[in-house]
Structure 1
Amino acid sequence: MPYELLLQNVSKHISLDEAEKDYFTSLLKERQVTKKELILKEGQLCRHINFVNTGILRAYYNCKDGKESTIMFAVEDWWITDMYCFINHKPAMLQIEAVENSNILQLQKSDLDKLYMKVPRFERFFRIIMQNAYIREQLRIIQNLSLTAEERYNIFLEKYPHVAKQVTLKQIASYLGITPEFLSMVRANKKK
């Protein structure tokens, strides 16, 4: 059943009866994505929030100098979208790609609005999800301002060891805001 992990995710914050579970899952679209496939392109209308059933997704911004800046990784049991554009019906600023073959569940914005009306507890659920994401990003910004690249890399390894094993050094470097060459030096110093 493709909804088991998702329903466990939801049950961390709200309780649903069987009819509510059935309604919620009826709104979802299951999608298989292949490695490097874009599920959201910059400039496209951002119509979905995505739950990662299996695999890893990466959201990144294309900088004017041609470099990519990784905003976040989403692993199994995480949600991902271009939140500003999703909420405000705007063209995407970010791209979201599969780092590896992945299975995702997508919920359209219009269906999310229906869900809020029919099962108001979902407003609480998504508020908690968004609060947690905001907290995570606030801490990341503070770390980027106050910690060395080596300290940020160590925190990344500690918090996301499974991600570090499955993404490229270039992607980790872009997430940390450093060059791949500098990350290689940090890693070399760590091994000494």
Structure 2
Amino acid sequence: MFAPFEKYLLGFVQISGADLERIKSVATVKKIRKWQSLLHDGEVWKSMCFVVSGCFRLYRFDQKGIDHTVRFGIENWWMTDTESFNHQTPSNYNIEALSSSTVIIWGKNDWEQLLVTISAFKQFYDRLNASAYETSQQRIFSLISGSAEERYLEFQRAYPNVFNKVPLHMVASYLGISRETLSRIRKDFSRSAKTPRLEPGRSI
């Protein structure tokens, strides 16, 4: 079950077999049930979590008790609360599985030790953080400047086939639009045959 992560890692950096074994030795593979939670708000997030299969979402509640989807995590992506992980402070977010899933988890202490002792792994992590920052900036710009249709197209590019795994109201929440608006947009694209050619999502 470690093979998918090994392939993913080698797409970023060259790393020795011995170092791969060290990374594997402190990793834990877990099977997660559909709707099982990995994190509740108020808890401290203490691990790095790589999604081997399945789908997750990270979300939080506003003052009215309405939940807002911030991010999805699909195959070859990461699911984490970076702020809680870095500062070891209570999280404002929740993480739940939207389907039966498999993840690889590293505890914070083990992860940080790997970064200190394996230079190639530190290089990988730096690239990962840079990619995540760029994606975050793009998402912010999309939310403040893009039309509902443009946000929908960007979602299709970033999360191919996710509509088969995620309830429609969660996608609408992620896009910052109503479910009715999302349904209308999907129907419009279907009628006009403008459904975009999907491209692989970023591995973050």
Bin of the TM-score, shorter chain as denominator length: over 0.9
**How does the TM-score come out when normalised to structure 2?**
0.89
Contact 2:36–2:96 under 8 Å retained in 1 = yes
User: Matches of residues 95-174 of structure 1 in structure 2 within 5 Å?
Assistant: 95-174=94-173
Deviation at 1:107, TM superposition (A): 0.9
Distance in 2 between residues matched to 1:37 and 1:191, nearest whole Å: 33
Distance in 1 between residues matched to 2:138 and 2:116, nearest whole Å: 33
**1:178 and 2:177 correspond:** yes
Distance in 1 between residues matched to 2:108 and 2:158, nearest whole Å: 30
SS in 2 for 1:46: coil
- Which stretch of structure 1 is more off in the superposition, 99-108 or 57-66? 57-66
Amino acid at match of 2:58: A
Distance in 2 between residues matched to 1:69 and 1:13, nearest whole Å: 32
User: Matches of residues 44-59 of structure 1 in structure 2 within 5 Å?
Assistant: 44-59=43-58
Deviation at 1:187, TM superposition (A): 2.6
Aligned to 2:25: 26
SS in 2 for 1:80: coil
Q: CA RMSD in A?
A: 1.3
SS in 1 for 2:34: coil
Aligned to 1:75: 74
Provide Cα deviations, 1:111-141, integer angstroms capped at 9, x if missing partner: 1111112212211111111111111111011
SS in 1 for 2:161: helix
SS in 2 for 1:184: helix
- Which stretch of structure 1 is more off in the superposition, 159-168 or 68-77? 159-168
Structure 1 segments, 4+ long, off by >4 Å, are none
Distance in 2 between residues matched to 1:50 and 1:111, nearest whole Å: 13
Provide Cα deviations, 1:56-107, integer angstroms capped at 9, x if missing partner: 1111111221111111111111111001111111111211111100000011
Distance in 2 between residues matched to 1:66 and 1:190, nearest whole Å: 33
**How does the TM-score come out when normalised to structure 1?**
0.94
Deviation at 1:108, TM superposition (A): 1.1
Q: How many residues align?
A: 191
SS in 2 for 1:79: coil
Deviation at 1:170, TM superposition (A): 0.6
Structure 1 unaligned residues grouped into runs of 5+: none
Distance in 2 between residues matched to 1:191 and 1:10, nearest whole Å: 37
